[in-house]
Amino acid sequence: MQITGTHIAYLHTCHRKLWLFANGIQMEHTSDIVAEGKLIAETTYLDRARKYTELAIDGIKIDFYDAKNKVVHEVKKSDKVEAAHIAQVKYYLSVLVRNGIDDLSAIIEYPKLKQRELLDWNDDFLVETANWEKQVLKITDSETCPPVLSGKICKSCSYYEFCYIDE
């Protein structure tokens, strides 16, 4: 299995969601929240499409990459900064470094918050993300789906109806 940024984000969000996604049960296409995120990405920072390139490499897809300055730009629709977002971008940076691109940084942008998170490359990311890859494989290779999380995040999840169908 090729690990993507989505796998890493789901590892930091919900192991059940990670397992379901990796095992072919994908609900994002039915989610209004996911659709809103795509709309924000498509309608925010419109000049980026001309200035920066989309980059797909080793299973990751970076929407905006400034090759001249070696900066990954990630836009999030969330109204709060989340550990999963930071983890996903650390993973992007690690994949780029493993492919010979160095001196990297990233900017995670939250248009709703009018806020940015800056992330400079740290060699520790390689060890950290390698551990995450092992965790992802352990969860996704399991024969059984992890239990429902029952957290406040569940109500806004694209898998909510799937997980709580009997309730």
pLDDT tens digits, 40-68? 455 555 555 556 788 999 999 998 999 99
CATH 3.90.320.10 is right for the domain spanning 5-163? yes
Task: Summarize pLDDT for 87-143 with one digit per residue, the tens.
Answer: 999 999 999 999 999 999 999 999 888 999 999 999 999 999 999 999 999 999 999
CA–CA distance, 136 with 114 (Å, rounded to integer): 32
Sheet with 115-120, edge to edge strand ranges: 53-57, 60-66, 71-75, 105-110, 115-120
Structure tokens at 98: 């493993």
CA–CA distance, 115 with 6 (Å, rounded to integer): 22
Sequence-distant (≥ 6) Cβ neighbours of residue 64 within 8 angstroms = 45, 48, 52, 53, 54, 72, 73, 74, 75
pTM of structure: 0.86
Task: Summarize pLDDT for 130-166 with one digit per residue, the tens.
Answer: 999 999 999 999 999 999 988 888 988 889 888 888 7
Judged against a pLDDT cut of 70, whether residue 36 lies above it is answered with no
